[in-house]
């Protein structure tokens, strides 16, 4: 039997009804070298040991868009606008196919970078914040944004200890510097400045990434245990209605 079409007012009611049982959305943000991926693995393992169903999503990992991003980066021909548009497409695909379905099903989602990564990197490339927010609209707001704070010097040192920064990672497309590490130091300083500003605007919770890994993990556990959900009808209603309009079976 075909599922009846669900009208927007019904979708709003479905969102409000689902909100108490939906999953928690946690975003990890911070510069390269801050240890986000390590902390994600630790948190994911701990949450699962506590009986939670956990899904993680990495930045620029959409199977649909990632190959195109990788190909364009290899050619080093991305403009700042194209760089931003491709990453926004990647984010939207993961939101539609992984993040929102998991949250709707009551699973905890941990995002290894969220849209704030785009806001900082793309702003450091000279793009306007208002334009970037419109690009990612309608927005699904995380319930908790954990910002692993690390200074530009420490970030540069940690990255250099393991590898040379990649062309776009180091911001060579905007600094014009030939040396990747010198470019990275300059570019990451801009990125961190933008992170610090966003941390105030969007109420990130800071974790000192220079601390021992275990100490950071203990702090992250406490943050997650005390996290309060941002009500979907208040913060993310437009995005959920748009998603459910395309996937009415979820609201049935």
Tens digits of per-residue pLDDT, 198-226?
999 999 999 999 999 999 999 999 999 99
Q: Domains of the chain (ranges plus CATH)? A: 24-246 (3.40.50.300)
Please tell me the predicted confidence (pLDDT) of residue 1.
41
Q: Residue 28, Cβ neighbours under 10 Å: how many?
A: 27
Question: How far is it, in rounded angstroms, from Cα 7 to Cα 13?
Answer: 10
Question: How far is it, in rounded angstroms, from Cα 170 to Cα 188?
Answer: 7
Q: What's the pLDDT tens digit per position in 113-169?
A: 999 999 999 999 999 999 999 999 999 999 999 999 999 999 999 999 999 999 999
Please tell me the predicted confidence (pLDDT) of residue 2.
46
Q: What's the pLDDT tens digit per position in 23-60?
A: 999 999 999 999 999 999 999 999 999 999 999 999 99
Q: Is the pLDDT of residue 5 over 60?
A: no
> What pTM value is reported for the model?
0.94
Please tell me the predicted confidence (pLDDT) of residue 251.
80
Tell me the mean pLDDT in the region 163-178: 96
- Indicate the average pLDDT of the chain: 95
| Percent of the chain clearing pLDDT 70 (strictly above) | 96
Question: How far is it, in rounded angstroms, from Cα 131 to Cα 135?
Answer: 6
Q: At what angle do helices 115-124 and 180-201 cross, to 10 degrees?
A: 120
Q: Is the pLDDT of residue 8 over 50?
A: yes
Q: Is the pLDDT of residue 3 over 80?
A: no
């Amino acid at each position: 039997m075909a599922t009846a079409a669900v009208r927007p007012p019904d979708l709003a009611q479905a969102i409000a009804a689902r909100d108490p049982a939906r999953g928690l959305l946690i975003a990890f943000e911070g510069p390269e070298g801050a240890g986000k991926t390590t902390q994600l693995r630790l948190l994911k393992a701990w949450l699962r040991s506590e009986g939670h169903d956990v899904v993680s999503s990495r930045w620029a990992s959409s199977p649909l868009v990632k190959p195109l991003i990788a190909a364009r980066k290899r050619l080093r021909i991305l403009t700042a606008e194209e760089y931003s548009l491709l990453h926004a497409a990647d984010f939207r695909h993961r939101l539609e196919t992984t993040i929102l379905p998991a949250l709707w099903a009551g699973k905890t989602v941990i995002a290894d970078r969220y849209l704030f990564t785009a806001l900082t990197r793309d702003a450091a490339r000279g793009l306007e914040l208002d334009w970037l927010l419109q690009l990612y609209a309608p927005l699904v707001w995380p319930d908790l944004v954990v910002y692993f704070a690390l200074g530009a010097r420490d970030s540069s040192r940690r990255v250099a200890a393991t590898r040379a920064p990649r062309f776009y990672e180091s911001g060579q497309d905007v600094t014009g510097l030939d040396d990747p590490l010198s470019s990275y130091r300059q570019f990451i300083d801009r990125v961190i400045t933008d992170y610090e500003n966003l941390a105030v605007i969007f109420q990130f919770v800071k974790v000192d990434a220079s601390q021992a890994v275990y100490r950071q993990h203990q702090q992250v556990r406490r943050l997650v245990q005390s996290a309060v959900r941002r009500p979907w009808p208040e913060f993310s209603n437009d995005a959920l209605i748009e998603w459910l309009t395309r996937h009415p079976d979820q609201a049935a």
